[in-house]
Structure 1
Amino acid sequence: MAEPATVEELEQSIRDAQEKFNEGMGAAGDASPYPMLKELRAQSPVHAGWPEMGMEGNPDDGPQTFTAYSFDAVKAIFTDNITFSTRCYEDVVRPLQGPTILEMQDPEHAVYRKLHEFAFARSSMKRWDSELVGPLVDSTIAKFKGDKKADLVDKVFMPIPVRVIAALLGLPDSDVLWFHRLAIDLLGFRGDMDCAMRASSEMKEYFVGILADRRREPQDDMVSILAASEVNGVKMTDEQIYGFMRNLLPAGAETTSRSTASLAMALLTHPDQLDAVRADRSLLPQAIEEGIRWETPLLNFMREVTCDTEIGGVQIPKGATMMLSLGSANHDETRWDDPERFDIFRERKPHIGFAHGAHVCLGMHLARLETTKIFNALFDELPGLRLDPDAPPPYVTGTMFRSPPRLDVVWD
């Protein structure tokens, strides 16, 4: 495939596309949604409309929308996959990515979930650790280690998860930047649907060739695994594999990029906790979970209500759209003391940042693996890592996706 630009031009186009995407996702300065979410939770666990997005109440006629804000309400909705269906994603996701597991319901979903799980097998995870993620993290950091200063979002947190996903799909290094740019365009459909559809079409055209190659000559990658997998006589169709490939990078890389960046900012702005984790790496797993709870990378999910029901004391009619505020659920003061505070030493309780129930995130173990490798390498290779005192203070931004847009650091 011919490169449409130089590496430098492609890297800059990715930065520009990411900035455009962030703006379309409600990134405007350092405004935080959490004060409003706290007020909404205090009023009711469930509200009519989508208040934090400016949708107060519901019209007398037309589509009804409700939003769940408390941890218990959000978890209950994720748990009841019959009443609260993911079928709504068929209208939103399928035009862009093709058929994906996201929109499926049981019993079909259970079969295809098992097919997808072959691609994320725990047995593969150990190999990815030593053969893929570790070397990729080390080589990435080695490129700028001697500079003694960097924007970690640009140098580490944005490129590494993308390159991991690209490698798992078996894409050549020469195509990774092009792939990353298309993935951002695809994710930015709310701001520019025409651009997203063009990116989707270009991705599929490319993946047709990749899948055909793997069917002829299987390799050690996810595409080959999915092409050969079978459960109870069921195999994934070509269109479903294209859907998986188009969904994996936006779903896997974007959220991991953001969660790692937010965790880094949290630790760097809490030097006592940073020092504790740096000195005792056994604290890293709980730091990772606290980071995802404190700044959930993707704040909202949605469901379609299949029958009249009640949740959080609110009557919900059949056919309504149910929004789930994961950000609010992960800051619920009835579950965590002082939830606005980042504290890796707080009492450990499961968060809901990876969703819950039948559709819980397939890639959560990979995300944790990547985060662990990245932070161990940062601590080992960049001694005395700290915020750049000459740079503006970092901040988290966004109302749909959240993370720091940059993170300027120095080291010894």
Structure 2
Amino acid sequence: MMEPATVEELEQSIRDAQDRFNEGMGSDGDASPYPLLSELRAQSAVHPGWPEMGMIGNTGDGPKTFTAYSFDAVKAVFTDNVTFSTRCYEDIVRPLQGPTILEMQEPEHAVYRKLHEFAFARSSMKRWDAELVGPLVDETIAKFKADKRADLVDAVFMPIPVRVIAALLGLPDSDILQFHRLAIDLLGFRADMDRALAASAEMKEYFVGILAERRREPQDDMVSILAAAEVNGVKMSDEQIYGFMRNLLPAGAETTSRSTASLALALLTHPDQLAAVRADRSLLPQAIEEGIRWETPLLNFMREVTRDTELGGVQIPKGSTMMLSLGSANHDETRWDQPEKFDIFRDRKPHIGFAHGAHVCLGMHLARLESTKIFNALLDELPNLRLDPDAAPPYISGTMFRSPPRLDVIWD
């Protein structure tokens, strides 16, 4: 498939790819978008243009752009997937990943979402918990437990989610590091489209063989499940399965890597809340949700406006692009008191970090399972886990994807 390389060379190539990706996604030190987002929300729930990205208002005669910043406005867009269509992703995603459910419209979308749901069945989740995620987390932590110090981003939060996805797709261990690099290159199309397209082609070439093999000899993995899935006589085509595979590896791994890393930073910089979770693990689910609300891993989504409409008192013409600021919505002062504050004990209200409505994240239960396993293991296996006082203070960066670039810790 690819030229042989040592594990060390592959791991370094992943770090290099991640650096390129972060740079292309506006990762600029510890600058936070939230003060500006707060100002924009205070002015209006919906703005013309995409102000936090420097696009103020709309000029010219072409399609207009608008951005939703309040929780209610963002939720309203996600709820109405007819007026606010995902068709816009066809031009962006299809060249990179092939046909995916992301760009589908109703009624086709509803049928294919049911087909995709076979791959995320609740019955499978219990088995993944015991047979896949748990052992993988334990094995990963065991490798560095005796070192008494680590960068948790590099040692835990980056490798585990991609290994989970690769295992669910039935990829052999020997290919995982190579695919991790390809996944980052694919997702980093804003930084380097040529590199992303090359990664996509390399992935598809490999997946053609995987799918053909599963059709001949089905196994206990997502590819075999999707190859056999059928709803009302409809089955997924080979191209759609390749699209699913190319979408799942970067999307499912990248967001979970970032959300777990940000939650770890939040807990380690709030020792009282970390102590509370360590003492009472029943607090972990609400800590996970608060982490995603406080630092949403993917800040923006987009939609295409299919008819003239009004949102937040703003008239929006047909053909416009509607940007959705999930980061802003999850910091809406009308929904949460002191939204900039990380507080696992705040009144629990659903966030919108996994989107909402017909296109709500298919993998959110898997993400929560991974987070739960990772944090229970960290607290069990690394006694008195704390920030490394000799390392530079950690910070969160990014304007599209956000998370800490590294998280240096020590333990007893």
- Shared topology, TM-score over 0.5? yes
Structure 1 residues 39-54: aligned runs within 5 Å: 39-54=39-54
Match of 1:192 in 2: 192
- In structure 2, the residue matched to 1:288 is 288
Structure 1 pair 204–115 and aligned structure 2 pair: CA distance change class (3 A): same
2:38 equivalent in structure 1: 38
Q: Deviations over 1:149-206 (max 9, x none)?
A: 0000000000000000000000000000000000000001001000000000000000
Please tell me the residue identity of whatever aligns with 1:190: R
- Structure 1 distance, partners of 2:110, 2:367, is 22
Distance 1:367 1:76 in 2: 24
- 2:223 corresponding residue in structure 1: 223
> What does the per-residue CA deviation read over 1:312-342, in whole Å, with 9 as the maximum and x for residues that have no partner?
0000000000000000000000000000000
1:226 alignment partner AA: L
Provide the rounded CA distance (Å) in 1 between the counterparts of 2:2 and 2:18.
23
In the other structure, the counterpart of 2:384 is 384
- Structure-2-length-normalised TM-score: 1.00
Aligned match of 1:172: 172
Whether 2:255 is the aligned partner of 1:243: answer no
- Cα distance in 2 for partners of 1:253, 1:2 equals 21
Pairs within 5 Å for 1:49-64: 49-64=49-64
- 1:29-59 deviation per Cα after TM superposition (whole angstroms, max 9, x unaligned): 0000000000000000000000000000011
Aligned pairs (5 A) from 1:80-119: 80-119=80-119
List aligned pairs for 1:119-138, cutoff 5 A.
119-138=119-138
Normalised by the length of structure 1, the TM-score is 1.00
Cα separation, 1, equivalents of 2:61 and 2:396: 38
Q: Distance in 1 between matches of 2:76 and 2:222?
A: 32
Partner SS for 2:404: coil
For residues 68 and 250 of structure 2, the distance between their equivalents in structure 1, rounded to whole angstroms, comes to: 25
CA offset at residue 366 of structure 1? 0.1
SS of structure 1 residue aligned to 2:82: coil
1:362-381 aligned at under 5 Å gives the runs: 362-381=362-381
Give the AA of the match of 2:260: T
**Distance in 2 between residues matched to 1:173 and 1:403, nearest whole Å:** 27
> Match for residue 10 of structure 1?
10
- The residue identity in structure 1 corresponding to 2:189 is F
Q: Once the two structures are superposed, what CA deviation does each residue of 1:221-258 show, in whole Å capped at 9, x if it has no partner? A: 00000000000000000000000000001110000000
Deviation of 1:3 (Å): 4.6
What secondary structure sits across from 1:13 in the alignment?
helix
Question: Is the aligned partner of 1:301 residue 2:301?
Answer: yes
Cα distance in structure 2, aligned partners of 1:316 and 1:276: 47
Separation in structure 1 between the aligned mates of residue 103 and residue 110 of structure 2, nearest angstrom:
12
> What residue in structure 2 maps to residue 158 of structure 1?
158
Q: 1:314 — aligned with what?
A: 314
The 4+ residue runs of structure 1 with deviation greater than 6 A are none
Amino acid at match of 2:390: D
SS in 1 for 2:189: helix
Structure 2: gaps of 5 or more residues: none
C-alpha distance in structure 1 between counterparts of 2:326 and 2:3, whole Å: 39
Are 1:24 and 2:24 counterparts?
Answer: yes
Equivalent runs, 1:195-210 vs 2, <5 Å? 195-210=195-210
Structure 1 residue 2 displacement after superposition:
5.1
Q: Which amino acid aligns with 1:351?
A: H
Provide the rounded CA distance (Å) in 2 between the counterparts of 1:50 and 1:314: 14
Match of 1:249, SS state, is: helix
Unaligned stretches of 5+ residues in structure 1: none
Amino acid paired to 1:7: V
Q: Deviations over 1:329-371 (max 9, x none)?
A: 0000000000000000000000000000000000000000000
SS class of match (1:144): helix
